[in-house]
Structure 1
Amino acid sequence: MVEPLTASHTVTGRVFAVLDSFDSLHRRQSLAAISRRTGLPLTTVHRLVHELEKHAALVRGADRDYEIGSKIWRLGTLSSVHVELREVALPYMEDVYELGNDAVQVAVLDGLRCLVVDRIAGSRTISVLSKPGSRLPLHATGVGKVLLAFGGAELQDAVLGSLDRYTDQTITDAATLRSQLSTITSQGFAITGEELAPGAISVAVPLRGKGGAVIAALGVVSSSDNTAISRMVPVLQITAAAISKKLAQIGLGEASRLRAE
């Protein structure tokens, strides 16, 4: 039986109870599920969720379940963790962009997905699904696979338990993906080919913070006709080493844990 979350009698307390009901194991919820987890009446949840949806704090998917919306992300970007990560990484991202005019992005772990903290759009003719604030699947993106590979057994078990298919190239077999994650950990980079969107390939490397822990991922997204994408691996690794040094110097070491608990 689910233990209801403690909900205050004030309106503000009830709003936060609704938002707090979302976590890594309850990323998408129906109104009934939110009601059960908060202990609030369904009519109250319906009213609060409707207001939160109007202000983009919650968003309703095609299946009519709700998840955290862009407003929460925009507020989150004001936190020192996101601000410092973006400030440190952006000049290096611009250098990488100048080399190939491909999209460059930095992402952190966000529950069972990855959150794109910042992105420089590429000039190639390609539809890139990611943008700042986007929450992407861990198993079908370069930055996501890096975060998943270095994220530990508990995270991997949770993600590999349900692998959605986005294209014909998406890896949905848990054993195959687990083997790939092991390779990513040992070689220090991930390469994907049209696993999230047709025509898009990516390469990504880990970013480390204080204590050497992986706290983010740096990646490049290019078109599938770019046969030289693997040449970006050493460029990204050198860039990541420089960014990681800066992150460690300022003591940043919690970015990958945002909303991951």
Structure 2
Amino acid sequence: MTGTGPVLGRALRVLGAFDARHPALTLSELARRADLPVSTVHRMARDLLDWGALERGDDGRYRVGLRLWEIGCLAPRGQGLRERALPFLEDLSQVTRENVQLAVREGAELVFIERIAGSGAVPVLTRVGGRFALTATGVGLALLAHAPPEVQERVLAGPLPRFTELTVTDADEVRRMLAHVRTRGYAVSDRQVTMDALSVAAPVHGEGGAVVAAVSLVVRHGTTTAQALAPLVCTSARAISRAVTTSYG
């Protein structure tokens, strides 16, 4: 123990300093973002480099190492689920030529574990491994609608992030949206993340009927309707659900 906390905790703070906007950091940047002394980060970085959790480029900046990716691929909710879902995600992508996404809930956020970009499809803000709010995206709404009540209340206690002028940030309105998801079996996010995108998502069910993931189609707003996309998305979600339950059953 030191004044900056246990060794493991400090190591996690160093690794947690990286994100999508900061994939490469100098030693001083790493120390500042981890809120640790430079001397401490220098010692920890050496150990993390030796183990493979960090890499250092010719420019002297630190980056996340491949060893972490190897370990991350062992997570059953990530790689295992992705492998079982991928054939159906690829089918959906080939049929529609649009963006197809698969996500899981991690606490009060979602994590994308697969994304297939369609040729000429609308640009999206998501990336594999990226986290996002549950209340704005199609997959997020599908996951939140089937989350435990305590998770729903924690998320809806806010503040709810706003991405566009159409993002729903009123908790009562989101509750009504979640009820509609459970009633009709799919979620709709219309220009809530970007003003040019429409997303339709459906839940993927695992053992005992629990929702383990959500799959979505993201298309350019105005090119089609949510009602037209829903049967395709729901069919894919059911196929993935069968694959998941068969594999683990």
TM-score grouping bracket, smaller chain normalisation? 0.7 to 0.9
Q: Looking at both structures, which has the greater relative contact order when contacts are Cα pairs under 8 Å and sequence separation is at least 6?
A: 1
Q: Unaligned regions of 5+ residues in structure 1, if any?
A: 23-30, 36-41, 59-68, 253-261
The one-letter amino acid of 2:225's match is A
Q: CA 1:47–1:122 in 2, change beyond 3 Å: closer, same or farther? A: same
Q: Deviations over 1:85-135 (max 9, x none)?
A: 111111101111122111001000122211110111022342211121121
Q: In structure 1, how many angstroms separate the alpha carbons of the residues matched to 2:73 and 2:39?
A: 27
Residue 6 of structure 1 deviates from its aligned partner by: 7.7
Q: Is the 8 A contact 2:11 2:44 kept in 1?
A: no
Residue 14 of structure 1 deviates from its aligned partner by: 4.2
Q: 2:162 aligns with which of 151, 157, 165?
A: 165
Residue matched to 2:176: 179
Work out the number of aligned pairs and report it.
Answer: 220
Q: Is the 8 A contact 2:164 2:195 kept in 1?
A: yes
Q: 2:85 aligns with which of 72, 84, 89?
A: 89
Residue 79 of structure 1 deviates from its aligned partner by: 2.2
Q: In structure 2, how many angstroms separate the alpha carbons of the residues matched to 1:88 and 1:188?
A: 21
Residue 51 of structure 1 deviates from its aligned partner by: 4.5
**Over aligned residue pairs, what C-alpha RMSD do you find?**
3.5
Q: In structure 2, how many angstroms separate the alpha carbons of the residues matched to 1:147 and 1:93?
A: 18
Residue 203 of structure 1 deviates from its aligned partner by: 0.2
Q: CA 1:162–1:19 in 2, change beyond 3 Å: closer, same or farther? A: farther
Give matches, 1:37-186, under 5 Å: 43=37, 47=41, 51=45, 75-160=71-156, 161-186=158-183
Residue 196 of structure 1 deviates from its aligned partner by: 0.7
Residue 70 of structure 1 deviates from its aligned partner by: 9.7
Identity of aligned residues (%): 33
| Bigger-Rg structure (1/2) | 2
Q: TM-score, normalised by structure 1?
A: 0.72
Q: In structure 2, how many angstroms separate the alpha carbons of the residues matched to 1:145 and 1:241?
A: 17
Residue matched to 1:236: 233
**Does residue 251 of structure 1 match 2:233?**
no
Residue 43 of structure 1 deviates from its aligned partner by: 3.5
Q: In structure 2, how many angstroms separate the alpha carbons of the residues matched to 1:74 and 1:128?
A: 26
